[in-house]
Structure 1
């Protein structure tokens, strides 16, 4: 008697589980159908809709690389890169090595094969030229 009671409970539970799973499967199928109705393939999108899905990475857009004696020096900012590009190579190299690669005057003089005092003089004169160029281009200094 006990075995038939347990068997009946097992059968009822099994029927209940089957019903729950069928209902859930129906629910999932309806949800997928609803999502399919809302979806569009990329080929169906208009140019305007397609553009809305795009992400434009602008991270490296204003990054410029200068070569100084085989060393790549990265400069961020179009205005500054343009100003540096206007300089003669010798002056530009001193500025790039000094401010972008943190080299000392002695290291710069050895790298460029020039006299140590020349590095300091070039840097001062070049910074003045850069400032004048940037002011002429309309750059506003944060401390002014």
Structure 2
């Protein structure tokens, strides 16, 4: 910005032409900055319409954003009446292994192979009421075992 010129000890004011050029440049800079601010505001408004924060996503939407790799070595396998049941939970697998063989079969057939008490009774050659009793006893043992090792 030219405010004054110094020539051989004489201080000169800017000419009318220089003042006008300074004013035009100042006006041009303000105009550019004003338009740039408008462009940024429009761009942010467009982004707000199509983008959403991760914290605003529902649990279901968040679950769609990632995938867990599954390997056979990560699963625990149980064999029940010519069927194979794979469990991924170490906690549940450990608790199931501590049950007696008959209670373990009842739980696996009932909850993982979705068999009724009658079907389980027929498969194990046991009365339906016995299956019901074994399942409720097994569930109590499972609950106690899992609560005991809950923080591991």
Q: What residue in structure 2 maps to residue 106 of structure 1? A: 118
Q: What residue in structure 2 maps to residue 87 of structure 1? A: 99
Unaligned runs of 5+ in 2: 1-67
Deviation at 1:115, TM superposition (A): 0.8
Q: How does 1:8-23 map to 2 (within 5 A)?
A: none
Q: What residue in structure 2 maps to residue 69 of structure 1? A: 81
Provide, for residues 79-104 of structure 1, a one-character-per-residue CA deviation record: whole Å limited to 9, x for no partner: 10111111111000000000000000
Q: What residue in structure 2 maps to residue 37 of structure 1? A: none
* Higher relative helix content: 1
Which of 87, 108, 113 is the equivalent residue of 1:96?
108
2:118 is equivalent to residue 121 of structure 1: no
Q: Matches of 2:135 and 2:98 in 1, distance apart?
A: 15
Which of 64, 70, 75 is the equivalent residue of 1:59?
70
Q: Rg larger in 1 or in 2?
A: 2
- Residue aligned with 1:59, SS: coil
Q: Matches of 1:138 and 1:72 in 2, distance apart?
A: 26
Q: TM-score w.r.t. structure 1 length?
A: 0.54
Q: TM-score w.r.t. structure 2 length?
A: 0.52
Provide, for residues 49-89 of structure 1, a one-character-per-residue CA deviation record: whole Å limited to 9, x for no partner: xxxxxxxx851243111011221111121110111111111
- Residue aligned with 1:67, SS: strand
- Residue aligned with 2:115, SS: coil
- Residue aligned with 1:82, SS: helix
